[in-house]
Structure 1
Amino acid sequence: MERPMHPYELGKLLKQRDKNNSIRYRHASLYMVVEQLHRDGSIEAQETVRDGQRPERTVYRLTDAGRAELRERMRELVSVPVKEYPQFEAALALIIVLPPDEVAELLRQRHDALTERAEQLRTFVREATDSADVDGLFLIEHDYRLELIDAERRFLDRFRERILAGDPDFGRFWRQLHQDRQAR
C-alpha cells in the first residue's frame, strides 16, 4: 500500500514496525507469499534492479485487483469476529487435571509473566512514540495486546481468589477429585 517494494525491503519494514509479534511469518516464507500474490495477480513486477555485486531484485507493486482484494479481506478481519483457539483457553477447559493449590500458584506465575510482558510492551510503545518516525497507528495492535493482557490479569486475580477462598459453590468436584487421589 505504501510504495512498491522488494520482498527483502518489505521484511525489513515489518520487522522495524514490530509486526512479527502480530503476524506470524518467517522471513523465508515471505518470498513464497510474494510469488503466490504475483501468480494471483494481486501484485506485479514494477522493475528489476541490481546494486553492485548484489543479485537482481524485483520490486513489486500492488495491482488494482490486489488492492480491492486486500481491502475486502481487511473489512472482513476488522468487522467479523471469529472463534480463535488460544492455548490458555484450552488449558482452562482441562484445568481439572491439576490440583487447585498448584493451579493457584501457576496462575500467580502467569500473572507475573504477563505483568513483565506488559511492562516490556509499554516501554516499546513509549520509546517508539518518542521517536518522530513512528506513527502511533503502527502501534495500535500493541495497545490492543496491552488491553488483552490487562483483562487477562484481572481474570487471573479473580480465578486465583476463588480457588484460594475455598468457595464451596466453586470447584467442589475439582477439590474432591484431587483429595480422593491424594488419599489413595
Structure 2
Amino acid sequence: MAKRRPVGNLLALAVLSVVVDRPMHPYEMAAVLRERGKDQDMPIKWGSLYTVVRNLERHGLLAAAESGRQGRRPERTVYRLTDAGRAELEDWTRELVAVPERESPRFTAGLSVLGVLPPDEATALLRQRLGRLESQLAEERAVLARHAREVPRLFLIEAEYDLAVREAEATWLRGLLDELTTGSLPGLAQWRAWHATGEVPAEWTELVERGSERA
C-alpha cells in the first residue's frame, strides 16, 4: 500500500526532482519541468505550483535559500532541497518503482459501460480510437528514436514504458475489433438484441441477481 506523503500531489515529486540539481525559484522550476516534459509523465496542475512549493517548505522538504527583487518585479524566493526533502524524493521514487498499484484510466471507465452503446457504434468508435492511437504511436516512435541519438537512455525510459503500454493497447484493440467484426465476441448476439428490443437478456439479468446475492 502506498505511504501517506506529507505532500502527496505528484507535482511535489516533480518539484523535488528538479530542485535536487540546484536551488530554484518557482518560476524557474516550472520552466525546467516544462522543458523536460514532466507534464507528459504525470498529471500536473501548473496553477497549484506555488501552493505545492509552500507546502513542501512547511513540511521541511524545501527551505528558502535566498530572496531578492529585480526592478519592479515581485520578490522571488529561491528554494533549496533539504536533507529531509532528498530522503522523501528517494523514498517516494523507490515506492513508485517497486510497488504496483491499480490505476483507473478514462478508457477503462468507458469500456466498463460500453454496453450502453449499440455494437456497431461501439465498433466504429473503437476503430476510430485505434486509428488515432496508431498515428500517435508512429509520431512518438519517431520522436523517441530522434532523442535516443542525443540523450542517454536513462532519461528516456519513462517514454519507452509509455510507448510499450500504448502499443499493448493497440494490439488489444485490434483483437477486440476482430471479434466484433467477425461476430466471435461472446455475448454479441445478446448485446445486439438488447439494443434492438430494449429488453435486457435473461442471462444478463441472472448474472446481476447472482451478483446482488453475493454482495
TM-score normalized with structure 1 length: 0.88
Task: Give the secondary structure class of the aligned counterpart of 1:54.
Answer: coil
How many residues are matched? 180
Query: Deviation of residue 168 (structure 1)?
Result: 6.7
Q: Percent identity?
A: 43
Task: Give yes or no for the alignment of 1:167 onto 2:197.
Answer: no
Q: Bigger CA drift: 39-48 or 163-172?
A: 163-172
Query: Deviation of residue 64 (structure 1)?
Result: 0.7
Maintained 8 Å contact 2:25/2:76? yes
Maintained 8 Å contact 1:49/1:56? yes
TM-score normalized with structure 2 length: 0.76
Aligned partners of 1:14 and 1:79: how far apart in 2?
Answer: 24
Task: Give the secondary structure class of the aligned counterpart of 2:57.
Answer: helix
Where structure 2 has 5 or more consecutive residues not aligned to the other structure, the ranges are 1-19, 200-215
2:143 maps to which of 97, 104, 124: 124
Query: Deviation of residue 170 (structure 1)?
Result: 4.2
Give the 3 Å change call, closer, same or farther, for CA 129–57 of structure 1 in structure 2. Answer: farther
Residue 145 of structure 1 corresponds to 162
Residue 18 of structure 1 corresponds to 37
CA RMSD of aligned residues (A): 2.0
Residue 33 of structure 1 corresponds to 52
Maintained 8 Å contact 2:61/2:85? yes
Aligned partners of 2:196 and 2:185: how far apart in 1?
Answer: 14
Residue 116 of structure 2 corresponds to 97
Maintained 8 Å contact 1:50/1:57? yes
Task: Give yes or no for the alignment of 1:78 onto 2:97.
Answer: yes
Residue 15 of structure 2 corresponds to none
Maintained 8 Å contact 1:42/1:63? yes
Aligned partners of 1:81 and 1:2: how far apart in 2?
Answer: 28
Residue 132 of structure 2 corresponds to 113
Query: Deviation of residue 180 (structure 1)?
Result: 2.2
Query: Deviation of residue 74 (structure 1)?
Result: 1.4
Residue 49 of structure 1 corresponds to 68
Amino acid at match of 1:27: W
Maintained 8 Å contact 1:111/1:156? yes
Task: Give the secondary structure class of the aligned counterpart of 1:45.
Answer: strand
Maintained 8 Å contact 1:5/1:60? yes
Residue 81 of structure 2 corresponds to 62
Aligned partners of 1:129 and 1:57: how far apart in 2?
Answer: 36
Maintained 8 Å contact 2:179/2:185? no
Amino acid at match of 1:152: E
Aligned partners of 1:17 and 1:34: how far apart in 2?
Answer: 19
Where structure 1 has 5 or more consecutive residues not aligned to the other structure, the ranges are none
Q: Deviations over 1:6-42 (max 9, x none)?
A: 1111110110011111222232311111000000000
